[in-house]
Structure formats: C-alpha cells, structure tokens
Amino acid sequence: MKNLKLWIILGVIVLFVFILYGSIKGTYNGMVSLNEDVSTSWSQVVTDYQRRMDLIPNLVNTVKGYADFEQKTLVDVIQARANATSVNLNVDKMDATTMQKIEETQGALTSSLSRLLVTVEKYPDLKANQNFRDLQAQLEGTENRIANARRKFNETTRAYNVYIKSFPKNIYANIFGFDQKPYFEASAGAEKVPEVNFNQPIKK
C-alpha cells in the first residue's frame, strides 16, 4: 500500500512538472514570437525613415540650384536630418526616453520638410521642375509608408505588451527578461507632409 501511495505521489509530481514545463515553454515561445513581430515591424519603420533620409540630399541639391531660394529653409532641413540621423534606432535598446527622442527629431524633420514644400510655392520655375516634382511625390509616398509602418509597430507592440503583462505570463516575462516596449505617441497627422498643389496660382 505504501508503495502504491509513493507511486501515486511520484506520478502527480511528474505530471505537475510536465504541465509546468509545457506552460513555461509555450509562454516563452509566445513571447519570443511576439518580440520578433515587434522587431520586424520596427525594421520597416527604420527602412522607411532611411528612405526619407536618402531622398533629402537630392531634394536639397535640386532646390539650392535656385540661387534666390531661402537659405534658412534649406539649412533647417539639413540640420533636422542630421539630428534625426544621430539618434540610435536599435529596437533592442528602445525605452520611453529614446522613443521620445526619435519622435522629437523625426517630427522636427517632418516640419522642416513641410516648410520647404510650402516655401516652394513662391518659386514657379522650381515647382515646374520635373526632378523636384518627382522627389516631392516620392516624399509624400514615403510619409504614407512611415505612417503605416508606425501604426503596424504600435499594433504589434500592443499585442506583445498585453501578452507579457497578463498573469501568469508576467512572472515568466520577469524571469526571462522580456520588458515592456514603448509606443509611438505622435499627435494625429503629425507625420503627414502637406500636399502641394502645383496648379495652384501663386499668391501675390
């Protein structure tokens, strides 16, 4: 009888260990998968940011060919690009402070580009320049891609954060070092470059 009880106890212990192992394994793999989703969506954000960075030198070179163009507007764009480029975009080292810095520098770059495009309204020859028109269209398309990539990143980040904060997954997350990730919190519409109507008459 004692041997039977011992075997029952051992069986319960083994069963408990298997259940615990399965729970930990499933939770850990789930966190890894969601973390990879966040990394993948962030990579797309970085790719679209880089595409915008790559377009700016060509845009600046096209605009500065017009001798009377407002130099301060160009300097602001160049400086804003330099500031945005200096921020670390490594998702593995992302925290709320870094995310805020990214939003500030990228927002400043967007604003400087917006001012440049509005200023171009004063220069009909530049507006008619095919190279400028192509670059402006590419910038608008890139801004749309950035907005979509940021939205996707927030969606995947939310799924990850909800998963690691729910009980008992939060216990495993603390054990294995899965930390909460920050979101983009830019104001609505801040990422949009204003459309410039090339057929619009110049205001005197």
With tokens 């797309």, the residue in question is: 44
Among 108, 109, 127, 105, smallest CA distance to 118 is for 127
| pLDDT number for residue 94 | 79
How many C-beta atoms lie closer than 10 Å to residue 123's C-beta?
A: 17
DSSP string, 97-108: HHHHHHHHHHHH
Encode 111-132 in three state secondary structure. Answer: HHHHHHHHHHHHCHHHHHCHHH
Q: Rounded CA gap, 90 and 9, in Å?
A: 50
| pLDDT number for residue 185 | 79
Per-residue pLDDT of the chain (204 residues; tens, 9 = 90+): 667 777 777 777 777 777 777 778 888 899 999 999 999 999 999 999 999 999 999 888 888 877 677 788 889 999 999 999 988 888 777 788 888 899 999 999 999 999 988 888 888 888 888 888 898 889 999 999 999 999 999 999 999 999 999 998 999 899 988 999 998 875 544 444 444 343 433 333
73, 77, 79, 85 alpha-carbon torsion, rounded to 10°: 180
Encode 120-167 in three state secondary structure. Answer: HHHCHHHHHCHHHHHHHHHHHHHHHHHHHHHHHHHHHHHHHHHHHHCC
| pLDDT number for residue 190 | 44
**Contact of 41 with 149, CB cutoff 8 Å:** yes
25-48 burial: b if 16+ Cβ within 10 Å, else e: eebbeebeebbebbeebbebbeeb
What is the pTM for the complete model shown?
0.78
